[in-house]
Amino acid sequence: MIVALNISLTISPCMMMTHSYKRNPSRISAISLAQPTTSLRRCECYDMYKEVVPFAEAWSWQKSIVEERKKLITIDEDISDSLIVLQHEPVYTLGTASSDNNLNFDVKDSPLPLYQTERGGEVTYHGPGQLVMYPLLNLRYQKMDLHWYLRALEEVVIRVLSSTFSLKASRVEGLTGVWVGDKKLAAIGIRVARWLTYHGLALNVTTDLSPFNRIIPCGIRDRGVGSIKGLLNEHSSTYDDDKLIEIAHESLLNEFCEVFQVDLFQQPVSKIKFQEK
């Protein structure tokens, strides 16, 4: 299970715009994801995709934004969503459904920093070369349906892999995430509080996959993990790591805008750090 909902119950399962990303109306999804709107909702983007940020710092940012947004919802002034994009320093994170049985090490002697979080799901690894997106969306302006939201996040990644890298990506019945063959390239774990989302998705682009050997990723024992770089190398396609990250990042932002029908407005990182205070 990969969802944690905090409404009345818990389920586990510079201000000036520099540029914006807009949804392409000619694109039609294979599943109905976009919700009819008369205008695209504003989404402030804190884009640190080239930076490697400690998990605890990004986690604190998210919680700070959520608490502020809750206040705005109360007075009906929640006028924009947020998106944080970054990479993390090597870290293991645990979800609400995590079990020590999926750790190939003593929890008291973890080889990497280990955090118990409030997101849904099991254990996973974050590290350099993995693009992480934390959408902080008010689902009242999308669809108040957690399963829909999970499928929408998967759709973002599926579109990136198929349209940008010509990789045949798919879902797996009964599981959450995105696979190419039997290799999982994207993990998804979310928390929802008063229909505000946080946590999100992680896509392995040029990630060193060896830290996954110390865990059972997402508690799934009969499938492996993969990366875009690894799969492209299998087809004799070679890319510079930085270029591959850049291409994947651009595609992720564009597909995110299409699926969720938002306009991204770049924000200075100093704003999110100030807001945390």
Q: pLDDT digit of tens for each residue in the chain (277 aa)?
A: 445 544 332 333 322 233 445 544 333 333 345 444 458 999 999 999 999 999 999 999 999 999 999 999 999 999 999 999 999 999 999 999 999 999 999 999 999 999 999 999 999 999 999 999 999 999 999 999 999 999 999 999 999 999 999 999 999 999 999 999 999 999 999 999 999 999 999 999 999 999 999 999 999 999 999 999 999 998 877 789 999 999 999 999 999 999 999 999 999 998 887 666 6
Distance, in Å, from the CA atom of 85 to the CA atom of 198, rounded to the nearest integer, reads: 12
- Residue 9: per-residue pLDDT: 28
Catalytic status, residue 43: no
Distance, in Å, from the CA atom of 33 to the CA atom of 259, rounded to the nearest integer, reads: 6
- Residue 274: per-residue pLDDT: 67
**H or E segment at 269?**
helix 269-276
Q: Is the Cα dihedral 120, 184, 26, 49 positive or negative?
A: positive
Distance, in Å, from the CA atom of 241 to the CA atom of 252, rounded to the nearest integer, reads: 16
- Residue 11: per-residue pLDDT: 30
And the tokens for 251?
A: 């595609």
Tokens 């990303």 belong to residue: 21
Phi, psi torsion values for 91, nearest 5 degrees: -165, 150
Half-sphere exposure of residue 51, counting CA atoms within 13 Å on the CB side? 13
Domain ranges for the chain: 43-272
Distance, in Å, from the CA atom of 182 to the CA atom of 267, rounded to the nearest integer, reads: 38
Residues 6+ apart with CB under 8 A from 56: 113, 115
Ramachandran region of residue 182, left (φ > 0), alpha (ψ -120 to 50) or beta? Answer: alpha
Beta bridge partners of 45: 83, 266
> Is 43-272 a CATH 3.30.930.10 domain?
yes
- Residue 29: per-residue pLDDT: 37
Distance, in Å, from the CA atom of 247 to the CA atom of 205, rounded to the nearest integer, reads: 10
- Residue 155: per-residue pLDDT: 98
Residue pair 1/121 in contact by the 8 Å Cβ criterion: yes
Residues 6+ apart with CB under 8 A from 208: 127, 128, 129
Which residue among 14, 43, 45, 218 is the active-site one? 218
- Residue 123: per-residue pLDDT: 97
Tokens 């995590």 belong to residue: 98
Phi, psi torsion values for 102, nearest 5 degrees: -100, 15
E strands, 62-167, in order = 81-88, 91-94, 114-116, 124-126, 130-136
